[in-house]
Structure 1
């Protein structure tokens, strides 16, 4: 930061908070608080120092609500250690973020007004506290390094009530008491108003959705007054998406708010979150040794790699924290999907307990209302249902009027964290596993076993059938499983698919459970898994996503030989290359050409190019294997792949792509062969920077000038005749 500072003003806030020091930076810049009144200026700065230290102490802490059965040390830890950077996706409403995948702090920097949306457990409050901590450390500046650091005021909307539970919104000078009442008495007169007036204040309103419907108009009017009185202040609001109605959105958009939504964590972010969570717990744990805590985190990452049901849940920061705590406590993750989703700390936690303990809502029988929605979605083979249909289904359960059913649906979307509004007028489940669990329970309650069996070959039923078998097994009942086996024996068209599904149903059952069926299933499935050749791989991949779990079990057993591995990799990648990364990467060090060809092909079958390159290809024994770049956007990831020798560029590549390629650090010294076939490359000059290049394919390119290649002796070009 440049510029001089009035004499006598220190530029460091001394002291630490739980080992968390405020940054040694001039948080004031060149600002003069009160010209000609040095005493008042000094008083304002002294209180700001006190405010930063005190509030930092209060905010740098996380507590998991609703899981009292977990030890205190697993529910309380330091935020600054545990925090994982989350990504945002703009919703297309109002001013843009100029991109997606931004970090929260990047979205706030240079923008005065942000509506941050996210479902229950997506990390809204944690992200806002993280921003506040950065502001208190003096790390959030307004515009340019010479600007004074911002001062955040984090207002919890659920706390804006008097003793009679009536709405009471704070005046600006009450912001200090709302944040840290113990130091409010020392606040200089008009201190908050002056910060807001000069654009140094940041107003964080956490949990607009936690205000009742009848009070939300008053909150909007209060906010609009703040915007009118203090237009230069910064504002960040958080809410669950369903709680912000069309009128709110239009008004906020008119005031220049950017609307963005927290994205689910990527697998890479999940791994990072687990590492940071366990580090934070290790800092304050007394019952667990640091090494024990860290080892639990690494084992949990292995569990997530092996179980799709867990991996999907872990994309929510809240659920990832709960899974981490349960695993550390004693590996309490259950050995089946149904047991996992039945546990109070998962289903009931999301549906009721967290908000009740946070004093937001009263208990309601959401479970009874959600099951018919899940049941309808499976019957219809849809991912979402019209809102009007959802209201009718709820109305059948409650026997109430239409308006009451609509109100209950709205509450479920706002409160449970299980439902979301899609495209404005359609409702869907956020976690497919919860939908399947609830649907299976509804089918069993209605005794529709035959219906499940007769539709078991359909993708929308497969996970439901697995859940139904697991739920029946808890009561030593086998109607669905026996019906499935009987149908598999008789079926021609779906013979392989049904036997594989039956194997998935019994995969987690103990050997002594229904042995007459389980033994027969496991014996029969040996005929299909692992697949014997690439042709079988294509057929087995069509059976359904559940086959990934079966393949993972086969791979863990150590029974997959090098001859079998290409077909296993092909099957997994065809089903879902991204979900299959933990399975596929097991084979990356094998120097078998067939294995490496399938590893390379898997890159183009997924969407997470950077993750696949890092986890599968970075140290793969590629040898002479040709690697197809899946898209020009994946070009930077090539520097991760140390064994890359032969590269084929995609059709959309042009001369700029080639320039970028040769500019990647280290890669030019490794490349021996490049195919530019069918690309738009015209200028070959960049190739002169590839000293080891020996083969070049120019088929169907617009290249007319080969003269740059004279600098590459020994290079073989195909075709020799260039189309002019």
Structure 2
């Protein structure tokens, strides 16, 4: 039986007395403690119970009591069944939380198996007691009170409570578990039911410890603030609408395979991409920043507010859709579990611009995306924001006109200040806004990286897997087999082509263009484009020219358009959008633009009206789409800009383009127009950009113009030497980049920028640091210059050179850069097995930061013959022991974080340093205290992300000579167990800047305790 709601988690509990309970997991039950007693079952020496789950197994399950509170203080218990009571897939997701309003909350219910509901020969039957929760009625007693909606039942036959047997039954406020029934209060004639609030149970240290052990992936605790029962039903409908809209992904080129459907299950084609964030690491008491590269979902997990930057087609919108659909369905992976159950508000900024909205009020948030659901109850969105359950996904900030961005920023800042617990992701193109644009509001920056070679191969596999799904629609089985076989062959051929063709790989660094290449490869049987403009032209020819012929569809709307016809028509729509600073238009506006374009296309005009032609383009071209009623847009802004650029060139309007060169939204069009230009037109564009740069009032405005001129010079088929030199000399004259924005401009030009970058001699540490980081993004061509920067006198510069290892070929970088530079005063970060094996080529290194999965044997081989003074190990699920340290007794500073399988730390005793600095998390500490011997050589200990139950006297036992203890803790920390250590210095910090931390037992340490804000 597949369960459909949280109510189906109800179970019956048979112990010293009969009661009820609720399934937290398939084998973990929450119930009342007063039901239990030693000897409640025959021949049992410790408390046990039997549980029956009506919706699952019919056979009773024997349970062990893993935790029980005292009935007079915390009348609750956790039972662990010896087998799953219900299959995992049969359980609806559980939400739990606390009532955070003083107002009565309607539409609540208690479930259970009371005496009053018996039938037959005293057999159990479930009851559903509906009522209103009165948060203030049990305030002083620490109870929740449910006032029943119906007439109270009569007392039992023996005069006892008719509710006997209801104890432990779940109290739900809508879909949220808020407590368990506990008693029938006197004086109310059985019309009220008392319950133990879940919040008070969660505060019990024993309960928290048992929960971490038996249910480490418990969902986040919610605050229920709404007293509006209509919200509950609406949220279910809203979640379904979000899933319907955002769980399907349009994959370029897949609608060529035989149907009009190019919408695919998002998880089939979703590709997790890499992103880069600055990382802050503590190093000898100082904090440094270095790039951190991980999968974007992993980086988002620890960042409640994020600005995600990415190029056109980089996958920003796909990520937003993936987050929205999975958060609404509570199916995000474990690392993002904190987002499960949040209410996603997707705010496509293109829609705001089209609707003339810049600062939407909360009540507009659910309607901006025009989901297929009715309007919400009045005030619903505000209540969601107030409760901290909102996930705000602001997509495409750069798609607002430049004058509207500052008001939009103020709107977002004010909204988040009013509702500070709101999770928020903002997507934008890399250079659309300044680096610190939202920093004051607590936002952190992430940059989506171009797809790696490995990612490209993964995307090719995902694209062809989605394509093979189309074959399932064929009723002709032999034909389906042939198509699948052909797609298998195409996938192998394209994968091999990407391996040997570096130019093709460079064209495929975004998911959009990689999908275009996959589609063209299938259509053209291996004939692939060589430049970006060839790629766009081929894609348009495929979509506008041969799709219907290829699929044997003849005049489906009574209209036939060739490639030139379709392109002329779409160009007029595209140029109107650009001129008006828009990415969407209404059907009426589109018809008007097509009507103007058809004035010169008589053979098109003869086939139908502008409205009919628009319908044909929406249905047949694959380039236009109607996202919702009366909202039309291009499938991707890149195609809009490409077609608009063609129209500007065809209509001799290059001067109009140049007049907007300083405006960020027009610059992509200028980059693309150069591919349409002949020799004289290209010179006109590039010269115009240089003139605009010369006339710019300050370098802030000059940088983007000169960078744009250089991009056009790179993209142009012909540029004479004089003009080419003027472009690069002007850019070189600006000097080294002064900040991340200017570095970004130079990085956007790729390896062509290398000749104008300065040599390291004469640059100070900050200048050299920025150029070295820039070089790390420019590929193998930058290795010679990186090698020279590796000889800079500043450790800061050499640290930046060393940090580029993760973005280059491990062997070449080690040989040509790292092996030639001084490393004994810098830290070297590595994660790949190939990097570990390359360590033998390198000289002395001050600090080694080794991430990802490496076994102890792998580390022993990689570190063989090397002196290691400072070693950091993190994110390693393959590390079971530290035996490799027996070869390195010289280690003075050891950092072990995020190694969940670490069980044997006996090798720590082999470390000979008389003052060892050790940093660990609770997993590593648990492994240490399981050893028999103390570690007297540890004089400084750092413990990361602890809770109050982890700090205990064992620290004093296992580290008898400890002089300094550094703690990074969660919300609370009890230092009382350490009060006997009279000479111990402590430093305590919350897990994130600005976090709040409650420290208990601080009075024992006086000025020996420093609490770091």
Equivalent pair of 2:307/2:446 in contact (CA under 8 Å): yes
Distance in 1 (alpha carbons) for counterparts of 2:702 and 2:410 = 27
Indicate yes or no: 2:521 matched with 1:327: yes
Distance in 1 (alpha carbons) for counterparts of 2:341 and 2:662 = 46
Indicate yes or no: 2:93 matched with 1:25: yes
Distance in 2 (alpha carbons) for counterparts of 1:116 and 1:413 = 19
**1:592-631 mapped onto 2 (5 Å cutoff):** 613=834, 628=841
**1:622-641 mapped onto 2 (5 Å cutoff):** 628=841, 632-633=848-849
Equivalent pair of 1:27/1:148 in contact (CA under 8 Å): no
Equivalent pair of 2:850/2:874 in contact (CA under 8 Å): no
Map of 1:85 onto structure 2: 272
Map of 1:61 onto structure 2: 248
Map of 2:440 onto structure 1: 254
Map of 1:183 onto structure 2: 373
Indicate yes or no: 2:413 matched with 1:221: no
**1:704-719 mapped onto 2 (5 Å cutoff):** none
Q: Is the alpha carbon distance of 1:228 and 1:71 closer, same or farther for their aligned partners in structure 2, counting shifts above 3 Å?
A: farther
Q: Is the alpha carbon distance of 1:604 and 1:637 closer, same or farther for their aligned partners in structure 2, counting shifts above 3 Å?
A: farther
Distance in 2 (alpha carbons) for counterparts of 1:79 and 1:224 = 31
1:45 Cα deviation (Å)? Answer: 2.2
1:177 Cα deviation (Å)? Answer: 2.6
1:167 Cα deviation (Å)? Answer: 3.6
1:105 Cα deviation (Å)? Answer: 3.0
2:662 to 390, 394, 406: 406
1:61 Cα deviation (Å)? Answer: 1.4
Map of 2:106 onto structure 1: 38
TM-score, normalisation: structure 1: 0.52
Higher strand share: 2
Distance in 2 (alpha carbons) for counterparts of 1:430 and 1:323 = 27
Contiguous gaps of at least 5 residues in structure 1: 13-20, 371-395, 449-462, 465-543, 547-575, 585-597, 618-624, 684-688, 690-700, 704-724
Map of 1:122 onto structure 2: 314
Q: Is the alpha carbon distance of 1:610 and 1:319 closer, same or farther for their aligned partners in structure 2, counting shifts above 3 Å?
A: farther
Distance in 2 (alpha carbons) for counterparts of 1:417 and 1:27 = 50
1:296 Cα deviation (Å)? Answer: 2.8
Q: Is the alpha carbon distance of 1:177 and 1:35 closer, same or farther for their aligned partners in structure 2, counting shifts above 3 Å?
A: same
The Cα offsets for residues 22-58 of structure 1, whole Å up to 9 and x where unpaired, read as 9942145456789533236553222222221221121
Map of 1:103 onto structure 2: 295
1:633 Cα deviation (Å)? Answer: 4.5
Indicate yes or no: 2:496 matched with 1:302: yes
Distance in 1 (alpha carbons) for counterparts of 2:874 and 2:417 = 51
1:166 Cα deviation (Å)? Answer: 3.3
Equivalent pair of 1:64/1:75 in contact (CA under 8 Å): yes
Match of 1:242, SS?
A: coil
Equivalent pair of 2:317/2:395 in contact (CA under 8 Å): yes
The Cα offsets for residues 529-550 of structure 1, whole Å up to 9 and x where unpaired, read as xxxxxxxxxxxxxxx979xxxx
Map of 2:457 onto structure 1: 271
2:364 to 174, 188, 212: 174
Distance in 2 (alpha carbons) for counterparts of 1:339 and 1:364 = 11
Indicate yes or no: 2:343 matched with 1:151: yes
**1:353-502 mapped onto 2 (5 Å cutoff):** 357=624, 358=633, 366=645, 398=654, 404-407=660-663, 411-413=666-668, 426-427=703-704, 438-442=715-719
The Cα offsets for residues 188-224 of structure 1, whole Å up to 9 and x where unpaired, read as 3322111110100111111111112233333233323
The Cα offsets for residues 640-685 of structure 1, whole Å up to 9 and x where unpaired, read as 999997975556x337589999x9579989x9xx9x9xx97699xx
Equivalent pair of 2:641/2:668 in contact (CA under 8 Å): no
Match of 2:313, SS?
A: coil
Distance in 1 (alpha carbons) for counterparts of 2:862 and 2:510 = 39
Distance in 2 (alpha carbons) for counterparts of 1:71 and 1:580 = 41
Distance in 2 (alpha carbons) for counterparts of 1:333 and 1:112 = 45
Q: Is the alpha carbon distance of 1:146 and 1:166 closer, same or farther for their aligned partners in structure 2, counting shifts above 3 Å?
A: closer
1:76 to 263, 287, 291: 263
1:238 to 416, 419, 427: 427
Map of 2:120 onto structure 1: none
Map of 1:113 onto structure 2: 305
Distance in 2 (alpha carbons) for counterparts of 1:229 and 1:195 = 13
Q: Is the alpha carbon distance of 1:638 and 1:55 closer, same or farther for their aligned partners in structure 2, counting shifts above 3 Å?
A: closer
Distance in 2 (alpha carbons) for counterparts of 1:348 and 1:430 = 32
Indicate yes or no: 2:323 matched with 1:131: yes
Map of 1:556 onto structure 2: none
Paired residues, number: 494
Map of 2:388 onto structure 1: 199
Equivalent pair of 1:121/1:417 in contact (CA under 8 Å): no
Match of 1:100, SS?
A: strand
Map of 1:483 onto structure 2: none
1:279 Cα deviation (Å)? Answer: 2.2
Q: Is the alpha carbon distance of 1:133 and 1:52 closer, same or farther for their aligned partners in structure 2, counting shifts above 3 Å?
A: same
Match of 2:268, SS?
A: helix
Map of 2:469 onto structure 1: 283
Distance in 2 (alpha carbons) for counterparts of 1:160 and 1:259 = 23
Equivalent pair of 1:120/1:415 in contact (CA under 8 Å): no
Distance in 1 (alpha carbons) for counterparts of 2:261 and 2:707 = 26
Q: Is the alpha carbon distance of 1:369 and 1:402 closer, same or farther for their aligned partners in structure 2, counting shifts above 3 Å?
A: closer
Distance in 2 (alpha carbons) for counterparts of 1:338 and 1:108 = 31
Q: Is the alpha carbon distance of 1:124 and 1:577 closer, same or farther for their aligned partners in structure 2, counting shifts above 3 Å?
A: closer
Q: Is the alpha carbon distance of 1:141 and 1:255 closer, same or farther for their aligned partners in structure 2, counting shifts above 3 Å?
A: farther
1:183 Cα deviation (Å)? Answer: 1.7
Q: Is the alpha carbon distance of 1:412 and 1:122 closer, same or farther for their aligned partners in structure 2, counting shifts above 3 Å?
A: same
Distance in 1 (alpha carbons) for counterparts of 2:839 and 2:420 = 58
1:109 Cα deviation (Å)? Answer: 3.0
Distance in 2 (alpha carbons) for counterparts of 1:659 and 1:46 = 44
Equivalent pair of 1:97/1:258 in contact (CA under 8 Å): no
Distance in 2 (alpha carbons) for counterparts of 1:26 and 1:410 = 45
Q: Is the alpha carbon distance of 1:31 and 1:110 closer, same or farther for their aligned partners in structure 2, counting shifts above 3 Å?
A: farther
Q: Is the alpha carbon distance of 1:319 and 1:74 closer, same or farther for their aligned partners in structure 2, counting shifts above 3 Å?
A: farther
TM-score, normalisation: structure 2: 0.39
1:261 Cα deviation (Å)? Answer: 1.5
The Cα offsets for residues 496-540 of structure 1, whole Å up to 9 and x where unpaired, read as xxxxxxxxxxxxxxxxxxxxxxxxxxxxxxxxxxxxxxxxxxxxx
Q: Is the alpha carbon distance of 1:279 and 1:31 closer, same or farther for their aligned partners in structure 2, counting shifts above 3 Å?
A: farther
Q: Is the alpha carbon distance of 1:328 and 1:600 closer, same or farther for their aligned partners in structure 2, counting shifts above 3 Å?
A: same
Distance in 2 (alpha carbons) for counterparts of 1:215 and 1:258 = 22
Equivalent pair of 2:851/2:874 in contact (CA under 8 Å): no
Q: Is the alpha carbon distance of 1:54 and 1:398 closer, same or farther for their aligned partners in structure 2, counting shifts above 3 Å?
A: closer
Match of 2:234, SS?
A: helix
